[in-house]
Homo-oligomer: A and B are copies of this chain.
């Protein structure tokens, strides 16, 4: 039985530092012992693993974002799971929890690091999509930093992505116009149909700039930036006086050797622009408030989310690669 337990868990580890766009071979899926639970800890069997673009920069040798993943290390992602064993009064076996459990089947974590979720309030995958960190990121980015006023225009890049989809819907709940940017006519169509954006502009179109102008006849008041590079520049040029550029991610720059320079700060002076970067972790104490609101909005038919679910932990590397390449629609996750 010792041998069985020793190989009963599975982990996705970083096998090589990706050069440019990651490949599935940059990861390895290996057997591992089920971890032993210490005092104050819980043992979790994961149910759904989250795939997030922000993991990419952490796979580089040096990452200032949240620390580099060591070679051979488990990818440190958020996930859902069920408590198998508890040495804490906080959670009991059978509880469903959310936490930074990593891309693995089993994790032992401090009980305080896991947040209980209620699968009766919403089906499990929704706790990573509609109610997950990407949606929460959209919420705090808009509510705290972007603060769109009714009638203003909010543009969000990677609009088909998990965060972008939530940004557009929450912008509309706040009374603003929501304009998405996504790659390809079909994806843009889906963004408008599935999430109710006012418009979605295809950045791959030859006349992208003209289309962006047409979608934003009154200019742009809030840019929720997920992509960076040329897309950021196009949006930045169209910012209105007093505009806000909320920088959540720069996914087009993650797989380059270095990050690109930002746009000139001169327009920031003469247009009184605010450019603000953020990480949602700074606001984690507001997650319960967000979950209540999101469920309310969802029940009112104002807030929805699609999921792209890949089956089996062994397919996690390829699913991550596909997500970064923009091949998914909806929040990407793996059902373990």
Contacts and interface: CB of A to CB of B under 8 A. Distances in A.
Interface in A266-315: 266-279, 282
A74 interface: no
A249 B274 CA distance: 15
Contact of A272 (B253, B271, B278): B278
Contact of A270 (B65, B271, B272): B65
B275 A279 contact: no
B282 A277 contact: no
Nearest to A253: B266
A262 interface: yes
A30 interface: no
Nearest to A241: B282
A260 interface: yes
Contacts of A271: 64, 277
A132 interface: no
Contacts of A274: 274-277
Question: How big is the A interface, by class?
Answer: 35 or more
Contacts of A64: 266-267, 270-271
A325 interface: no
B269 A279 contact: yes
A265 interface: yes
Contact of A228 (B249, B265, B270): B265
Contact of A264 (B65, B259, B269): B259
A221 to B, nearest CB: 15
A34 interface: no
B262 A249 contact: no
Contact of A261 (B250, B263, B276): B263
Contacts of A143: none
B270 A275 contact: no
Contact of A269 (B65, B232, B268): B65
Contacts of A270: 64-66, 277, 279
Interface in A107-158: none
A250 B275 contact: no
7 closest A-B pairs by beta carbon, nearest first, are A268-B277, A261-B261, A262-B262, A269-B277, A259-B264, A275-B275, A259-B266
Interface of A: 57, 64-66, 225, 228, 232, 247-250, 253, 258-279, 282
